Amino acid sequence: MTRDQGSFSAPPQVLTFDGLLSDFDGTIIDSTDAIVKHWHKVGAELGVDPNVILATSHGRRSIDTLQLYDPKLANWESSDEKRGGAGVNVSQIEGRIPKEYGSDAVEIPGARNFLSQLDETSACWGVVTSGSRALIDGWLGVLDLTHPKMLVVAEDVELGKPDPRCYLLGRKRLGLEHSSSLVVLEDAPSGIRAGKAAGFKVIALTTTHSLVQLQEAGADWIVEDLRSVSVKGVVDGRLQLEIRNAYQ
């Protein structure tokens, strides 16, 4: 079947994994409008066309994006802070986004229910994101979503996605260091490639990128959003996921 002949109509299937690692922006929440406004503001401050920034910023850490345009801002701790001053760093820049543009973010369809299912079943799961801790904590608070007990953020790794070490760190923090039976939820090609490079299965959502982009990145299953993914249960510590209406 060629790509343009397919549809989101695959029959339900139940899969079992030791744990689940999910991306955040574009997978659990949609903060596109907020992020666009944010980069327009940053672009104006830096004298850079915001559309040029936005063309490559999704799924990447802000520190990596800022490194391209203003390396002195590409720090978790600013030089002024090191001298005891009140400098500006990536965490502070990102931490302002939920405060300034909180009304511009919404949950991905099905996300609230899915996170509640993970929490209620005591599933082994966590979030692995290119965002900073300040950004993720801010969005979870604004949208009142279930907070993951395990969180890997941009500050935790030296290289962002598509490098796999963020997902490998997530596996380690879940206590599953010797398991390859993990599933990743992603929306961006860079994140899909990171998950695959880590040796995990990947469920991709068509929330921010085209079907073809997700296929080319190597996603194992592609669904429209989290309404197609649910927790069936946890048996002997292993997570049972049902995937419905995947692309076929």
Annotated catalytic residues are 23, 25
Decide: helix, strand or coil at residue 135: helix
Strands 125-128 and 19-22: parallel
Q: Which amino acid is present at 119?
A: D
Give strand pairing partners of 126. Answer: 21
Integer Rg of the chain from CA: 18
DSSP tally for the chain: helices H, then strands E:
10, 11
What number of other Cβ atoms are within 10 A of residue 1's Cβ?
A: 7
CA torsion, ordered 23, 94, 190, 14, to nearest 10 deg: 10
Distance from C-alpha of 195 to C-alpha of 189, rounded to nearest angstrom: 10
Name the strand (E) or helix (H) holding 238.
strand 238-243
Query: How many whole angstroms separate alpha carbon 26 and alpha carbon 140?
Result: 14
**Residues contacting residue 4 through CB under 8 Å, at least 6 positions apart:** none
The SS3 call for residue 163 is coil
Of the candidates 248, 160, 148, 242, the residue with the CA atom closest to the CA atom of residue 197: 160
